[in-house]
Amino acid sequence: MEIVPLADAEQVARLAADVVEGLVRARRGSAVLGLATGSTPLPTYRELIRRHRAGSGPSYDGVRCFTLDEYVGLPAGHPESYRATIARELTDPLGIPADRVHGPSPDPDQLATAGERYEEALRAAGGVDVQILGIGTDGHLAFNEPGSSLASLTRLKTLTEETRRDNARFFGSVAEVPRHVLTQGLGTILRARHLLLLATGAAKAAALAAAVEGPLSASCPASVLQLHPHVTVLADGSAAAGLARRDHYREVYAAKPAWQGL
């Protein structure tokens, strides 16, 4: 795992955008991007859009996207559904057509098979090349709350009260935050070829430290990252504040050979 402590959220966004663009250029139209929603990736998405509009970004023709999760129980087209959110915040501005952006389907009549069908869609696409991730204050990854199986696949889950309170800012109140979600499992996420975890702000410091320096445990779902061979963690100063070895991570990054990349 490579942990990169950075000065601020803007640096996190620039470096994350470099990783995404590098992949899109390298795969020339066949890249499969794994997208997170929530607040943390928004500066990265804005940076990608800025570069795209400035003409310095790559072509997104042929790029396919898979979101991590989706609320269950919102009316179709609800602005806070993750399908609507990712279209608004990233894929529409980049010109990626809706039929190349996939998410678990919250259709109430087919919920029992939604997980299996999403796993099949991911397999058929050849898997995710770069998966952007955020981390919950309770250590959740996607919507795998504490106690989730480290081998889990896409399925229906129930949000904790802590996560519903955290996400109430996107809705009118906690009561309006759905209880149920469909989420890629931790085992699903581990299949992506490169995991890019973004963490910004002091509220993430304890969860990030537990995930990368604590024991591997279902009590901290993000600790599953320790099992993956290619993880990059981009953290701003506040989120990195709880890391016992942060000086070492800084030294490693400063001494990194340029040919290595992230």
Q: Which is nearer to ligand F6R, 52 or 140 (CB)?
A: 140
140 lies in the binding site for ligand F6R (CB under 6 A): yes
40 lies in the binding site for ligand F6R (CB under 6 A): yes
142 lies in the binding site for ligand F6R (CB under 6 A): yes
Burial class (CB within 10 angstroms; exposed 0-12, middle 13-18, buried 19+) of 246: middle
9 lies in the binding site for ligand F6R (CB under 6 A): no
At 246, list the tokens.
Answer: 């942060």
143 lies in the binding site for ligand F6R (CB under 6 A): yes
Give me the residue whose beta carbon is nearest to ligand F6R: 134
Q: Which of 9, 13, 33, 68 binds ligand F6R (CB under 6 A)?
A: 68
39 lies in the binding site for ligand F6R (CB under 6 A): yes
Is 99 annotated in the active site? no
Q: Which of 34, 38, 139, 187 binds ligand F6R (CB under 6 A)?
A: 38
In angstroms, give the least distance from the CB of 28 to ligand F6R: 27
Q: Which is nearer to ligand F6R, 5 or 134 (CB)?
A: 134
Span of 44-52, 113-121, 128-136, 208-216 interacting with ligand F6R by CB under 6 A:
128-136
In angstroms, give the least distance from the CB of 29 to ligand F6R: 25
User: How many other C-beta atoms can be found within 10 angstroms of the C-beta atom of residue 190?
Assistant: 19
Q: Which is nearer to ligand F6R, 5 or 103 (CB)?
A: 103
Rounded CA separation 49/158 (Å): 33
Length of the chain equals: 262
148 lies in the binding site for ligand F6R (CB under 6 A): no
85 lies in the binding site for ligand F6R (CB under 6 A): no
In angstroms, give the least distance from the CB of 166 to ligand F6R: 7
In angstroms, give the least distance from the CB of 92 to ligand F6R: 17
Q: Which of 33, 36, 122, 239 binds ligand F6R (CB under 6 A)?
A: 36
Contact 180, 157 (CB under 8 A): yes
Is 230 annotated in the active site? no
Rounded CA separation 59/44 (Å): 17
In angstroms, give the least distance from the CB of 191 to ligand F6R: 16
Residue 49: C-alpha distances to residues 13, 105, 251 (Å): 12, 26, 31
Active site residues: 69, 138, 140, 145
- What does the binding site for ligand F6R look like in residue numbers (CB under 6 A)? 36-40, 68-69, 134-136, 140, 142-143
